[in-house]
Amino acid sequence: MVHDPATLAALLSGAGFIAAEEETAELLKCAAGDAQVLDSLIARRLTGEPLAWITGRISFGDLEIRVDPGVYVPRWHSEALARRAVERLPRNGIAVDLCTGSGAIARTLMSKRPAARVVASDIEPRAVACARSNGVEAYLGDLFSQFRARSRARRPRSSASCRTCRHPTCRSCRRDTFAFESPLAYDGGHDGTAILRRVLADAPAIPSAGGAILLELGGGQDRALRADLARLGYSDVSVLHDEEGDVRGIEATLAYSATTDS
């Protein structure tokens, strides 16, 4: 097929890939001089398969994260939430990264807070395996289900925790996203908040007086969750925006749950 960088970049650009030159460099690096391998990588990319599945990795902040085929590809716009989660996580605190995918956010917390305990969960076996391969203590299961069972047996000593969950609305997704990535990564109910509401309702049952919760969301989801946050007793609620002013998440302090922390 095409093996010189300029022709490959032109091919990718003509096929609609915006970062054609960067992608060319990635594909050439991944093929490591093997023309047959390069052909197969190019053919896969031309189908629209995510580049990270083809190369097996992606940069997230200053980290390199392994991404296996079938696992949600971490997006750069989640990096700000990960950085904010680091700021909210005490040095020896405990963090639970729900819906962890490849474990990119958990890995960020681990690398910036090495003395903290970071655990993660995902409902997708491939995601859990991938997060584990990135060094994350990841469990297979629905949201907090694994941690509820574990915390009954042995309560975390730290009272501080930080949680993250990403669940964007489907409206903001591109065509390739639907063609390749699992619907589980996007299906948040009719207004995208079903999972977020469950996280807000269940979080106080995990012992964590004074802990923080961070939810990645977008559109009008912050407004849709306001009543839940108030009813469940969350305080210090703030909306996180990106540099273009778009809503990217919310952050709040958890209510102390006396009924579950006896």
Ligand X SMILES: C[S@@+](CC[C@H](N)C(=O)[O-])C[C@H]1O[C@@H](n2cnc3c(N)ncnc32)[C@H](O)[C@@H]1O
What tokens were used for 260? 């579950």
CB of 9 to ligand X, least distance (A): 28
Among positions 37, 184, 194, 227, the unique one binding ligand X when judged by CB under 6 A:
184
Q: Of 20, 123, 205, 247, which lies in the binding site for ligand X, with binding defined by CB under 6 A?
A: 123
User: Should residue 11 be labelled a site residue for ligand X when binding is judged by CB under 6 A?
Assistant: no
Which residue carries 């030159």 as its tokens? 21
Contact between 168 and 217 (Cβ < 8 Å): yes
Q: Which stretch binds ligand X (CB under 6 A): 38-46, 121-129, 240-248, 253-261?
A: 121-129
Give yes or no for a contact between 58 and 114, defined as CB atoms under 8 angstroms apart.
no
Burial degree of 120 (CB within 10 A; 0-12, 13-18, 19+):
buried
Angle at 22 between CA 20 and CA 25, to 5 degrees: 105
Query: Nearest to ligand X by Cβ — which residue?
Result: 101
Q: Does 99 bind ligand X (CB under 6 A)?
A: yes
Helix axes 20-31, 5-14, angle to 10 degrees: 130
- Minimum CB separation from ligand X for residue 168, in Å? 6
Instruction: Name which of 12 and 166 has its Cβ closer to ligand X.
Output: 166
Residues that bind ligand X (CB under 6 A): 72, 74, 78, 98-102, 104-105, 121-124, 127, 142-143, 166, 184-185, 195
